[in-house]
Structure 1
Amino acid sequence: MSKNIFRTKSINQFLSETKQDGGMNRVLGTFGLTMLGIGCIVGTGIFVLTGIAAANYSGPALIISFIIAALACGCAALCYSEFAAMIPVAGSAYTYGYVALGEFWAWVIGWDLILEYTLALSAVSIGWSGYFGNILTNLGLALPKEFITAPEEGGLINLPAMAIIWIITLINMKGITQSSLVNDIIVVIKLAVVGLFIALGISHVEPANWTPFMPYGWSGVFTGASVIFFAYIGFDAVSTAAEEVKNPQKDLPRGIILSLIICTILYIAVSAILTGMVPYLQFKTTAAPVAYALQLVGYHWGAAAVSVGAICGLTSVLLVMCLGQSRILFVMSRDGLLPRFFGHINKTTKTPVRSSLLVAIVSSILAGLVPIGIVAEMVNIGTLAA
């Protein structure tokens, strides 16, 4: 029995199975994968965590914290790059675990990833609902509280959170080409917002605000690095699309590494300008440091632009996470570790429609009925397990 549950599967076996049902469309190149990586990495982390880490842990040395976190992620990214090039099959760490460790550990890893992605998908959609509700309120179109909050928070159901999951799912079900195109457009918008902040803020930088540069010492810098590590999570999602890449041996490593490098440069630039515009201690009183900094220097419309960037950031995160989750579920089903019904590729769209629908049903129910606090705690458990 131990031989059966710890049996491994060769790379050739996995590759032969990818041709079942005609296989998925191999249309993604380095650019598309890089945009997927940026889409999943750059979320609210750049708009929220920068201020928290600067005020409480790193001060202006937040730049160093981002570099340390990037180096730590870089080691993991190099591992994912090598695995993805060696085993160009959907499923990410689940597939790598099956080849290296055996069926039992692959099953454990797969369920950890399902737990992490499903709960994170629900949590991010609830956050998206909050931003969406704020934008509508500013436009004078406030939604009734009953339809934007969970039952335990005094509402009936969080409809915007459920709706965005289904919209994203429908886009993903249409095909990887359509998903990649939508992601590219969203990423361009949010990168434009980040670029706008850099362009507006750089002329308002006061070098005096960078003194003292390391107010909390090296311990604060390393603590800050651990806090903002969350802002990098997502580069691994690129590897879940391995079966839809034109040249996985070259494109996957390039996409993973490039997305990490680009995001690191953006994070360093934003944190340097942010702490140069406003004394770092002032960020203790705000959860929206980028918008706060723009308002202080007279750009009152900056908050609106940041809200657009944040909601675009969350949308692209949802898109990539939903895509990744459905691929992990699909591969596990194809391997027989989940009902084979979900290990099916639609002949028209060349996408795992059944697994995508299952992901949408479960995650939307959680997003609509469970409070953000409980979902966030469950996400932490899922991420830790994974």
Structure 2
Amino acid sequence: MIQIFKKLPIDNVKKRSNVVKHLGAFDLTLVGLGAMVGSAIFSLTGVIAAAYCGPSVAICYVIAGLCSVLIAFPYAEVTSTFPTSGSIYSYAGAVVGDIGAWLALSILMMELASGAALASSCMATYCVTLFRDFGFIIPQKFLMTPLEGGIINVPSIIVTCILGGVSCMGSKGSKGMSNFFVYLKFFIIVAFVILIVPYFKVSNVKEFIPFGFDSALIGSAILFGAFAGFSVIPTMADECHNPSRDVVIGMLSSILITALIYFIVSFFIVGAVHYTNLGFPDISLKVMDACGYSALSQMVGAVIVFSISSVVIVLLNSKSKVFAVVSRDGMLPKWFSIVDKRGTPIFGLLFCIVLVSLIGGLTPYNQIAKVTSIGTSGEYLVMMVLACALRVKFSNVKRSFVCPALYVLSTTASMILLYMIVKQLLESLVVAKFVFGWITVWLGVYFAYLFSFRKV
């Protein structure tokens, strides 16, 4: 009989891999920016502004960013002291045991998979709009999910598969391409803001919170998922020159930069175009057209498509690395940890590509956004609890970074996160069914595989 509370030794968490060390703090900052700055700013901003926040979407981004900073300090203590590519899976295994590790894994995978699917769906929307401008029209039934009355979102699946192929180059091979996309993303953001600033109208932002404070809080909770990317940074700890230093710097710097970018861009978007006209995923193209830049909108859209791709690449690589760690622990088949000559856990990556393709192809965009936010909040809630537990359980371990007022910060953050999770689950029955169904399936896999095949 397998002991579901059998704990993973903390020494295994701290030192588990012999991969090449080739990443520094700057690389991790770019990784975080690549994962965070993307689909939210180029599409989710308009959808949330039109449905929940109005012009206050800019402040909602700031609130979500401040919550992320609050969470990052306890997160940084854990990840800098016990660097591992397994993230909350490994920490839960050391504190609770196998069953806790698997539950944490299910939450982490929900966050990363839905985040990648969200970015893929965003890219697909832009691609469809651009193709339509050139006369290539895809039948509507292949653009909509079953819940929207269609068959399947084919463009989202195609985008995921293409970027999955890029991810197969490995983190070192794809690092240059991913970093290039980050630079490209910043270039288009700066150019976009410069172009729309002259069209800012105070009248567009006078009705600042049109749907009420409660609705704005729901918007903030959904936008919190836009900061999910910083959690991929610890999963690359095995590849860092100095994990204890690089991980902390990478997380905090990427969160602060992302929050600033989101605030500036979203504020000028709602100032240039009234929020009631922004309820579309391809918001940047709509704003460019409204400001009289129709001739430039196609070029901007093409650049946005390439720039968002860094989000998918980072998240796919991150998921495959977590699966490799789980496989090394014997909680998944060994082929999940098999690496090719580039150091890529290729079979785990292929599984991730299939999983993300299914989510993007079968789930509506707005529902994916909510699932991403709930997954992000769930992961960070688990981490806040684990941060306190690790401080108590392994108090004798020297910490490279000590979080000030850990218990106060963790408790405060946990209450905020729990509120955001409950708020979104109550707001959408479809999302609630997805979340509970996801966790149930993962638990089913745990008992079916581990009790039948795992060698202990």
The TM-score with structure 2 as length reference comes to 0.72
Q: 2:22 aligns with which of 21, 27, 39?
A: 27
Specify whether residues 329 and 74 from structure 1 end up closer, same or farther in structure 2 by C-alpha distance, changes over 3 A only.
Answer: same
C-alpha change, 1:379 and 1:277, in structure 2 (3 Å) is: closer
Alignment of 1:99-178 (within 5 A): 99-122=94-117, 124-142=119-137, 160-178=155-173
Question: Quick one: which amino acid aligns to residue 33 of structure 2?
Answer: I
1:319 aligns with 2:318: no
CA contact (8 A) 2:49 2:279 kept: no
Residue equivalent to 2:301: 307
TM-superposed deviation, 1:334: 0.4
Distance between the aligned counterparts of 2:217 and 2:372, measured in 1? 20
Alignment of 1:50-61 (within 5 A): 50-61=45-56
Offset of residue 330 of structure 1: 0.6
Contact residue 80 and residue 239 of structure 1 kept, 8 A: no
**CA 1:358–1:196: 2 relative to 1, 3 Å:** same
Match of 1:293 in 2: 287
Correspondence for 1:335: 329
2:236 corresponding residue in structure 1: 241
The aligned residue for residue 81 of structure 1 is 76
2:179 to 166, 169, 184: 184
Amino acid across the alignment from 2:224? F
| Aligned equivalent of 1:358, options 351, 361, 365 | 351
Distance across 1 between alignment mates of 2:13 and 2:262: 37
What secondary structure is seen at the aligned counterpart in 1 of 2:294? coil
Bigger relative contact order (CA 8 A; separation at least 6): 1
Question: 8 Å contact 1:52–1:284 — kept in the other structure?
Answer: yes
Deviates more, 1:241-250 or 1:45-54: 45-54
Offset at residue 200 of structure 1 (A): 1.3
Counterpart of 1:64 in structure 2 is 59
1:302–1:223 distance in 2 versus 1, CA, 3 Å = farther
CA RMSD between the two structures: 3.3
1:360-375 to 2 correspondence within 5 Å?
360-364=353-357, 370=362, 372=364
Where does residue 421 of structure 2 map in the other structure? none
Structure 1 residue 13 displacement after superposition: 2.2
User: How many residues align structurally?
Assistant: 377
**Structure 2 CA distance for aligned equivalents of residues 185 and 212 of structure 1:** 39
Assess, with a 3 A threshold, how the Cα gap between structure 1 residues 217 and 385 changes in structure 2: closer, same or farther. closer
Would you say the 8 A contact 2:143–2:150 is kept in 1?
Answer: no
The superposition leaves residues 97-129 of structure 1 with CA deviations (integer Å, 9 ceiling, x where unpaired) of: 122332220122113323443455445434433
Q: How far, CA to CA, are the matches of 2:165 and 2:219 in structure 1?
A: 38
1:197 aligns with 2:197: no
Task: Give the equivalent residue in structure 2 for 1:8.
Answer: 7
Q: 1:49 to 1:17 in 2, by over 3 A?
A: closer
Cα deviation, residue 213, structure 1: 4.3
Q: Is the Cα–Cα contact under 8 Å of residues 126 and 161 in structure 1 kept in the other structure?
A: yes
CA distance in 1, matches of 2:146, 2:53: 39
Structure 1, 370-379 or 69-78: larger mean CA deviation:
370-379
Q: Give structure 2 stretches of 5+ with no counterpart.
A: 380-456
Higher mean displacement: 198-207 or 266-275:
198-207
Write the distance in 2 (CA, Å) between the matches of 1:61 and 1:151.
32
Consecutive unaligned residues in structure 1, runs of 5 or more: none
Would the aligned equivalents of 1:30 and 1:255 in 2 still touch at CA under 8 Å? yes
For 1:263, the equivalent position in structure 2 comes to: 258
* 3-state SS of 2:189 partner: helix
Indicate the larger mover: 212-221 or 78-87: 212-221
**Distance in 2 separating the partners of 1:310 and 1:96:** 36
Structure 1 residues 381 and 339, CA gap change in structure 2 (3 angstroms) = farther
Shift of 1:199: 0.9
Output the TM-score relative to the length of structure 1: 0.84
